[in-house]
Amino acid sequence: MSAKHVYFFGGKTAEDTGLDAKGQKELLGGKGANLAEMCRIGIPVPPGFTITTEVCAAYYEQGKKIPEAAVPAIEEALKKVEAAFGGRKLGDPADPLLVSVRSGAALSMPGMMNTILNLGLTDASVEGLAKKTGNPRFAYDSYRRLIDMFGSTAMGCEHEKFEHEIHEMKKAKGVKLDTDLSADDLKELVTRYKAVYKAHVMDDFPQDPKKQLFLAVNAVFNSWNGNKAIEYRRIERITGLRGTAVNVQAMVFGNMGGTSGTGVAFTRDPNTGENVFYGDYLINAQGEDVVAGIRTPEPIAKLHEDMPKVYEQLVGIRSTLEKHYKEMQDIEFTVQEGVLYMLQTRSGKRTGTAAVRIAVEMVKEGLIDETTAVKRVAPDSLNHLLQPQLDPKSKVEVVAQGIAASPGGASGIVLLSAEAVVAHAEKNPNDSIMLVRKETSPEDVAGMHLAKGILTSTGGKASHAAVVARGWGKPCVVGCEAMKINEEAQTITIAGKTVKAGEFLTINGTTGDVMIGKVPTVAPSMTGDFATLMTWADKGRKLKIRTNADAPADAAKAREFGAEGIGLCRTEHMFFGKDRIAAVREMILATSTDDRKKALAKIEPFQKADFVGIFEAMDGYPVTIRLLDPPLHEFLPQKDNVEGTEDVARQMGVPVSAIRERVDELHEMNPMMGFRGCRLPVVFPEIGDMQVRAIIEAAIEVKKKGKSVLPEIMIPLVGVVEELTMLKKRAIATAEECMTKAGIKVEYQIGTMIELPRAALTADEIAAEAEFFSFGTNDLTQMTFGFSRDDIKGFMPTYLKEKILPVDPFQSIDVKGVGKLIDMGIKLGRESRKAKHGQHLKVGICGEHGGDPDSVVFCHKVGMDYVSCSPFRVPIARLAAAQAALGDTARDK
């Protein structure tokens, strides 16, 4: 526990925590730490104090009670703020100091927690404020906002009830904008707001400013465990934080008239990364008005005309902040009667595209070094650069244009609420959905997460939808004012055309274009800054990166992305080809070994041709080919598929009953644990022989063309070493035969997958036979947990929500359990291989986990030689591997 509960900041100083930057952030939250830091470097910030995250933790430990010792500390700090800001007292009836109460955890959670502004206003002090400022309109507007924010944030009143009142008022007065209401209107509105408050809270709006303050502090602490915050942490996989800090800060006002205003900006363009000042502001507005998407704000460049002096000062602060933090910043500011105050700075969220460009350009500008650049880009954010783009050749008409808020193209069926998205996706997980709303709010994050793209009719570049979409690398267009949404009819109209919910709509988040219908997409490529960053990453990493690919085109794409070989080539995918499935079925239906061999002979040329293509694409790199893995019934129609059975019978020229009988014979209660993997060639050795022959002959053919081939034959699902001993012997015999016949030798290896707990447990025995191990972590996870990976739908969401599991173990390696088996398997295997053969046992991973950054870090730690992942995740794995080696996975950009 830190010695102090509360830290003051103001003027050009801030109380010292004695901690490093990371420690300060953990103790004071990101917002508090940065407010203090801005004071220290001489940037104008209204004075305030931060109640630490440790007080939040203690609050929860003591059953939601502010610890006693913190109370006098808060009161004392408040006195300092009063002294620092003109000597006014909080809520003083004659001339009140007002404060904001703001949350702020160590990691930024935009919009997830609640801020209360104008605290300290009461029936008495509002009069004082009106008199002192000579601006009763402003005073009552501030008061009604406080009742709304305090009521909804601290006391759980519905914000809509307050909104309803202002709506009615505007209607009655025949005005459109809040700003058109007069002082008397607003005074009346205060009365109505208080009635709404009382109806819900069953008590009067508190008239004691200190009482307001402590209730507000409680509210911020409570919001830490509110649904929005919990949901956000779950999606972002944020764990291990102590809580939120509370920042209490003297209010400054952007709503005092034409010389006041408020804005948000980024020191560089968060979409593209371009080094330009980027943001929005509103004249005569307060707080969240800019980001709430209620009024469409002005671009920051225009501030140059409206307030030239303030603009100059702001441009100076932009550069001071970047030089100080050596990072792109996201800032909030308010101008009160021509005087500029900074209210927040933090590392700006950005698209993957922007992250890469900013990192590379900052190296060129001499702000950071290459290693820092590599550490700074979150591997998953590269997804953004690997997203398909709308096909530029497509001829779909652009019907409207909004603000390009987060790049990339997306097509999806229109749904008009986040709840509808969640419900639809649950039933149709493969559908692409376009979430279309007037604006989004933090309640919508679950639906936003599931949508392919987001389109809103209001809001600017810093609106909630834009910020959140950018963080996730999701295409987003906001402020598309030409679009009207009709919730009741479940339709939208754009440029006179109507689109019903469920019909396709396309957006281009790079240009802001909106199109009706579906647009094809094209694959991205790796060039420019992206390629530069990758070469820097490669200097740092130790792990090799391979890819999972079954076709030459995928192999070539992966190589373009930097793959250094194939870690998993699944041969069964080749079996499904239109021209081959008949031969495969013939093989399965065969009743004698001879018949089976005849059918296999038909498949062999196809297999060989595929391998030739892959070896050529991977010239010079190793290619791991896994022998047939799935149970044979996967190649036949399902038991109750009458039509399919008849079709197959017709195609094969056999009676329907023959197919049905074989399907019955092959039927399994639990196919995942059935007759599959190496069990197939153990029983039908001719299947394995054919595959090995195809591999070796293909290798010979490619070698003859002067290319370098390194085939690795991988035997799946081994649990007992004897399986491997038997199959290996046979494979060697086959390979030798091929090579003798061709009169040419190729280097090849035989190894196994470790995907059964027993294989990991007896890895020493297995390694005596295997030249390499590849951890098949999909099956290993399935078999270790006893979870069928296709059947987790029913319980996994609850397991994650109830924190029974921290993450879905099929997405990120379960380090504690499955990880222990892997670690043990590697150690046992390596020792044994060294002792018996004097060789280094090559170890890799080929499950889905190979492309998950956290799992890549784990693979690095346990000393694997490589990870293998799908082609489009190769750059992500390269970067994650570099960060693992550099000893830092900067998850907070």
Q: Hey, which residues are catalytic here?
A: 464, 846
- Given a contact cutoff of 8 angstroms between Cβ atoms, the answer to whether 692 and 606 are in contact is no
Binding window for ligand ADP (CB under 6 A); candidates: 109-117, 421-429, 738-746, 789-797? 109-117
> How many residues line the site for Mg ion (CB under 5 A)?
3
Q: Between residues 115 and 249, which has the closer beta carbon with respect to Mg ion?
A: 115
252 binds ligand ADP (CB under 6 A): yes
287 binds ligand ADP (CB under 6 A): yes
777 is in an annotated binding site: yes
- Residue 252 CB, nearest distance to ligand ADP (Å)? 5
Each residue 329-368 as x (binds ligand ADP by CB under 6 A) or -, in order, gives ---x-x--------xx------------------------
Q: Between residues 109 and 121, which has the closer beta carbon with respect to Mg ion?
A: 109
Residue 847 interacts with which of Mg ion, ligand ADP, none, CB < 5 to 8 Å by class: none
- Residue 509 CB, nearest distance to ligand ADP (Å)? 23
Angle formed at CA 510 by CA 374 and CA 372, multiple of 5 degrees:
10
Contacts of 805 (CB under 8 A, 6+ apart): 796, 799, 814
Distances (CA, A) of 609 to 470, 551, 708: 44, 11, 17
- Residue 224 CB, nearest distance to Mg ion (Å)? 12
Residue 46 interacts with which of Mg ion, ligand ADP, none, CB < 5 to 8 Å by class: ligand ADP
- Residue 391 CB, nearest distance to ligand ADP (Å)? 38
Q: Which of 166, 251, 545, 845 binds ligand ADP (CB under 6 A)?
A: 251
288 binds ligand ADP (CB under 6 A): yes
SS3 744: coil
- Residue 288 CB, nearest distance to ligand ADP (Å)? 5
115 binds Mg ion (CB under 5 A): yes
Give strand ranges (E) for 151-229: none
Distances (CA, A) of 562 to 55, 304, 394, 536, 843: 48, 46, 29, 13, 19
Binding window for Mg ion (CB under 5 A); candidates: 250-258, 336-344, 510-518, 798-806? 336-344
**Host H or E run for residue 467:** helix 464-472
755 is in an annotated binding site: yes
Q: Which of 122, 153, 262, 353 binds ligand ADP (CB under 6 A)?
A: 262
- Residue 404 CB, nearest distance to ligand ADP (Å)? 23
689 is in an annotated binding site: no
Give the Cα separation of 628 and 645 in Å (integer). Answer: 23
State the DSSP string of 529-550. Answer: HHHHHHHHHHHH--SEEEEE-S
Q: Which of 52, 115, 222, 329 binds ligand ADP (CB under 6 A)?
A: 115
357 is in an annotated binding site: no
Count Cβ atoms within 10 A of the Cβ of residue 829 and give its class: 0-12 exposed, 13-18 middle, 19 or more buried: buried
Contacts of 748 (CB under 8 A, 6+ apart): 695, 696, 699, 710, 711, 712, 713, 735
Residue 117 interacts with which of Mg ion, ligand ADP, none, CB < 5 to 8 Å by class: ligand ADP
Contacts of 443 (CB under 8 A, 6+ apart): 228, 418
SS3 218: helix
Give the Cα separation of 238 and 892 in Å (integer). Answer: 10
Q: Between residues 115 and 782, which has the closer beta carbon with respect to Mg ion?
A: 115
- Residue 332 CB, nearest distance to Mg ion (Å)? 5
Residue 334 interacts with which of ligand ADP, Mg ion, none, CB < 5 to 8 Å by class: ligand ADP
Place of tokens 């070698």: 703
776 is in an annotated binding site: yes
- Residue 281 CB, nearest distance to ligand ADP (Å)? 11
Binding window for ligand ADP (CB under 6 A); candidates: 249-257, 489-497, 602-610, 775-783? 249-257
Strand partners, 345: 331
- Given a contact cutoff of 8 angstroms between Cβ atoms, the answer to whether 245 and 32 are in contact is yes
User: 152: which DSSP letter?
Assistant: I
102 binds ligand ADP (CB under 6 A): yes
- Given a contact cutoff of 8 angstroms between Cβ atoms, the answer to whether 626 and 565 are in contact is no
Q: Between residues 287 and 875, which has the closer beta carbon with respect to ligand ADP?
A: 287
Contacts of 491 (CB under 8 A, 6+ apart): 498, 499, 500, 501
152 binds ligand ADP (CB under 6 A): no
Give the Cα separation of 121 and 119 in Å (integer). Answer: 6
Strand partners, 335: 261, 340
Give strand ranges (E) for 537-609: 544-548, 566-570
249 binds Mg ion (CB under 5 A): no
111 binds ligand ADP (CB under 6 A): yes
Contacts of 527 (CB under 8 A, 6+ apart): none
- The count of C-alpha atoms lying within 13 angstroms of the C-alpha of 868, restricted to the half-sphere facing its C-beta, is 29
34 binds Mg ion (CB under 5 A): no
Q: Which of 34, 344, 440, 532 binds Mg ion (CB under 5 A)?
A: 344
- Residue 572 CB, nearest distance to Mg ion (Å)? 51
508 binds ligand ADP (CB under 6 A): no
State the DSSP string of 840-878. Answer: PPEEEE-SGGGG-HHHHHHHHHTT-SEEEE-GGGHHHHH
Residues 161-190 touching ligand ADP, rule: CB under 6 A, are none
460 binds ligand ADP (CB under 6 A): no
Residues 594-633 touching ligand ADP, rule: CB under 6 A, are none
**What are the two backbone dihedrals, phi and then psi, of residue 290, each rounded to the nearest 5 degrees?**
-70, -45
Binding window for Mg ion (CB under 5 A); candidates: 275-283, 344-352, 509-517, 634-642? 344-352
- List binding-site positions for Mg(2+): 755, 779
- List binding-site positions: 570, 626, 755, 776-779
What residues line the site for Mg ion (CB under 5 A)?
Answer: 115, 332, 344
What residues line the site for ligand ADP (CB under 6 A)?
Answer: 46, 100, 102, 111, 115, 117, 249-252, 262, 287-288, 332, 334, 343-344
